[in-house]
Amino acid sequence: MAQLYFSTYFCCPVVAQLTILLPAYHLLLRQLATKLDVDTSIISKVERGDRQLKKEQIPLLAEILQADKVELETLWLVDQVLDLVKDQPNADEALKSVTKKINRTK
């Protein structure tokens, strides 16, 4: 199973994983696109951070890259939340409130 790493260099954690894992498996973008049944331009946009994968594609991506499905799903969720709050001035406080609410419901 591939080890996942997060790099703050990239805008999105899933993009970081693609950039790290694709060369490790000697996969080209077009090969990954074929396996995910999407156009190569979509994978290219994902790699650039212009588009995100659908949640339904994450388990297949995990299988293709031999990566941990739960960890990739978590990184996908991080991407979603980041996209939602990145331009909000009070994002940090809002995320702290969400964390408190999540912890209360456990």
pLDDT tens across 3-62, in order?
Answer: 443 333 345 667 666 777 777 778 888 888 999 999 999 888 887 778 888 999 999 988
Reported pTM: 0.73
* pLDDT value at residue 91: 92
89-102 per-position pLDDT tens digit: 999 999 999 999 99
Q: What is the pLDDT of residue 12?
A: 61
Q: What pLDDT does 13 receive?
A: 67
- What CATH number was assigned to the domain covering residues 13-105? 1.10.260.40
Q: Give the largest CA-CA distance in the chain.
A: 44
> Which positions ≥6 away from 45 have C-beta within 8 Å?
51
- Where in the chain are the domains? 13-105
